[in-house]
């Protein structure tokens, strides 16, 4: 793995998730659902026009900022979080703060396996100005289709990370408890692709907007 994440780590684990004597029987249980949710709206306006270099600075700020205060998550997502056995976020502030809004005083895990894939934009001339949304689209296409990574995580590395993340979530759900992930739009999409290949069905989808979720069930 390359980039700023460093060694993979779990920053915190909920106390309720300690192994129990019932663990050996987990395989016989019906797997719980896996809910992949996107974080809330970040505290960074997208109503600007940027050059490629300016977008690099924008994305760097986006990665270290939290979410806009005063947001109210959708009620259906809040209900899933209230009832789930495991709640986990990525280690990015916008994901952690989103999980805190939903969890209140409840403890939850944070894992850097779940951070967003990088978005280095194409090295286009400085006179080309676009919105962050458009830059994000072109950066993702260049990263996905042309392996443009500028020394950050490559597509192949991110695919392997998505496999590892899916392994982790499937193991959590194998106890029969539902698992809710508060992470990022595109990397959640990548995890969902892995789950589908492994026989998990997307039984509910709200797309990829802020606070949206997709719920997967095995079989």
What is the predicted pLDDT for the residue at 28? 58
Count H helices and E strands in the chain, helices first.
6, 6
Mean pLDDT lowest among 5-19, 24-38, 112-126, 149-163: 5-19
Q: Would you say residue 206 has pLDDT above 60?
A: yes
pLDDT digits (tens, 9 = 90+) for 27-52: 458 999 999 999 999 999 989 999 99
The domains of the chain, with CATH numbers, are 30-218 (3.40.50.1240)
Q: What confidence score (pLDDT) does residue 147 get?
A: 94
How high is the mean pLDDT of the chain?
90
Average pLDDT rounded to a whole number, residues 104-132: 96
The pLDDT of residue 219 is 87
Would the pLDDT of 18 be above 80?
A: no
Instruction: Write b or e for each residue in 179-201: b if 16 or more Cβ atoms lie within 10 A of its Cβ, otherwise e.
Output: bbbbbbbbbbebbbebbeeeebe
Residue 5, pLDDT > 90, answer no
Mean local confidence (pLDDT), 154-162: 98
111, 134 contact by CB (below 8 A): no
User: Helix axis angle, 52-64 relative to 132-146, nearest 10°?
Assistant: 90
Q: Is the pLDDT of residue 202 over 90?
A: yes
Handedness of CA 58, 148, 152, 98 (dihedral sign): positive
């Amino acid at each position: 793995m390359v980039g700023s994440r460093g060694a993979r780590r779990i920053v915190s684990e909920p106390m309720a998730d300690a192994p129990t004597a019932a663990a050996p029987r987990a395989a016989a249980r019906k797997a719980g659902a896996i809910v992949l949710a996107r974080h809330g709206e970040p505290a960074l306006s997208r109503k600007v026009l940027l050059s490629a270099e300016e977008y690099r600075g924008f994305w760097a700020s986006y990665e270290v900022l939290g979410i806009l205060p005063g947001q109210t998550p959708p009620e259906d997502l809040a209900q899933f979080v209230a009832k789930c056995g495991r709640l986990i976020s990525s280690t990015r502030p916008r994901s952690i703060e989103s999980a805190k809004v939903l969890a209140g005083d409840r403890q939850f895990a944070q894992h850097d396996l779940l951070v967003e894939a990088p978005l280095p934009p194409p090295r286009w001339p400085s006179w080309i100005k676009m919105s962050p949304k458009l830059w994000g689209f072109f950066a993702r296409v260049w990263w996905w289709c042309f392996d443009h990574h500028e020394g950050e995580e490559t597509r192949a590395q991110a695919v392997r990370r998505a496999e590892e993340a899916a392994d982790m979530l499937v193991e959590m759900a194998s106890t029969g408890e539902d698992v809710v992930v508060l992470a990022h739009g595109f990397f959640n999409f990548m995890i969902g692709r892995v789950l589908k290949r492994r026989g998990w069905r997307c039984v509910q989808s709200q797309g990829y907007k802020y606070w949206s979720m997709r719920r997967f069930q095995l079989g």
